Amino acid sequence: MRNPTESGSATATASFTLHPDFAVGEVHPHLFGSFVEHMGRCVYTGIYEPGHPTADEDGLRTDVLELIRELGVTLVRYPGGNFVSGYRWEDGVGPAEERPRRLEQAWRAVETNQFGLSEFMNFTRKTGVDPMMAVNLGTRGVEEARQLVEYSNHPGGTELSELRRTHGDDKPFDIRLWCLGNEMDGPWQIGHKTAEEYGRLAAETAKAMRLVDPDLRLVACGSSHSGMPTFGHWEETVLGHTWEYVDYISCHAYYQEFDGDVDSFLASAVNMEHFIESVVAGSDHVAAKLQSSKKLMISFDEWNVWYQSRQPDEKPEPWSVAPRLIEDNYTVTDAVVVGSLLIALLRHCDRVTAACLAQLVNVIAPIMTEPGGPAWRQSSFYPFADAAKHGRGRVLRVEPTSSTHETAKYGEVDLLHATAVQGEDGTTTVFAVNRSTTDELELAVDVRNLGDVRVLEHRVLADADRHASNTLAEPDRVRPTTREGSAVAEGRLTAVLPPLSWNVLRLGG
């Protein structure tokens, strides 16, 4: 490995070999999920705005629905997030004019409940996504979760299923994937619990929900982030109680650039991959203790770039409806980090089988809207859309030899972060990030074992101004471009990756 000099005079290089016999696993479609929470303007003036020029008969913004389909989202987690730990699901069903307005304490806003369960399920049908429902295990518990499953999934003939039918939803919603609460390890959470308290409650809730519908897939709350003081112990304790009842343990992680330390920020996936591998090790340890052959999956159901350091400066009017809250404006640098985090998830697709970019619209989101006005793509929209479109299939193992550089937070880090996905159509897509802010990266890939392939496309997201972003005034300032010159000759792919860039190299016959 060579370490480029600060002047950029050395040539940065990276190489790896692709072979179809060496694979990580198949990508589950739910790896490309997102998240809709009743927070800020994600719902109101985000996906739902009756009276907007593009609103359909149900108040959904069709300009936003079109962008969601383009983004390629497959799964949406709802209704939170911190919001769910104080939420009464009954408030969001039935005639809209009869629904109560409530003080929403997680984000100190007023919740009108004009958008609820039926509206959300209608949204999933119109966008073609699968629902992922979270239940309140903060202020509520077993009975309310059991009732929600009956209302949602039972065909008819009981009080709650017939209530759903009188509300206009004759057929059951058939929600398969459920989260047993949200971030219950966090002191900020309404109804925060110890690992013992939560583990027992989650186990009993899971049992009751499955008595109503045996075919549910359930997610137990893991640590809110890997820096929590209870990390590790929390997972072991919770899984000790819930092991036989759950299918997933959750992970949450957010990243941001601190004090201009762009090199550490661009290496954020180092932390994400370590987090995943630690949770896998912990869950496999529980399996060994219980002498179980079960392999627990990970639901990484909150992840993104989020500048939490800016949040104290936000002072929305308390108890207002849909205030502007954490509407981060994403740069090219942020988009490259999002791409790198997607690479990390794909590289662990054998154990990460659900993941949700948090959130979908306006709130730290790839899609932005203006009330009564347009919707547009943030810079982070593009790497997610690329991965969702071309990241379906079988992930091949990528073990690069790469030039490196030193980071303050993670030590010596490869400049190349990459993975490759072999699609069912015979194409192979290499996703690659160049973490250097100054040097081009010369990439060489041995592709002899892929057969007779050529470069179909090399898409790049990069910019001379790493702080460039898309805004209401300039919604198309940042866009991917096609890069010429990448080629395959004698079984060797060669390409040059620009500094600080997200790259999609598609290979086929």
**Rounded Cα gap, residues 153 and 384, in angstroms:** 31
Cβ proximity of 338 and 32 under 8 Å: no
Nearest to 50 by CA among 322, 357, 319: 322
Say if CB 29 and CB 352 are below 8 A apart: no
The answer to whether the CB of 273 falls within 8 A of the CB of 344 is yes
Active site residue 302: yes
H/E stretch holding 166: helix 159-166
**β-strand partners of 394:** 26, 422
The pairing of strands 441-446 and 404-407 is unpaired
343: DSSP letter: H
User: What are the DSSP E strand ranges found in 199-351?
Assistant: 217-220, 248-255, 297-305
DSSP 31: G
**Token representation of residue 234:** 């929390």
Q: Provide CB contacts within 8 A for 248, sequence distance 6+.
A: 217, 218, 219, 220, 296, 297, 298, 299, 353, 354
DSSP designation for 305: E
Please state whether beta strands 501-508 and 428-434 pair in parallel, antiparallel, or not at all (unpaired). Answer: antiparallel
Rounded CA-CA distance 166/162 in Å is 6
Which string of b and e fits 276-294 if b means at least 16 CB within 10 Å? bebbbebbeebbeeeeeee
Residue of 37, 90, 150, 302 marked active site: 302
Residue 354 half-sphere exposure toward CB, CA atoms < 13 A: 28
Cα–Cα distance for residue pair 278/433, rounded to 1 Å? 24
Could you say which of 104, 183, 235, 257 is catalytic? Answer: 183
Is cis: bond before 240, omega within 30 of 0?
A: no
Distance CA 106, CA 404 (A): 42
Q: Is 98 a catalytic residue?
A: no
Distance CA 113, CA 100 (A): 7
Beta pairing, strands 404-407 & 411-414: antiparallel
Catalytic machinery residues:
183, 302
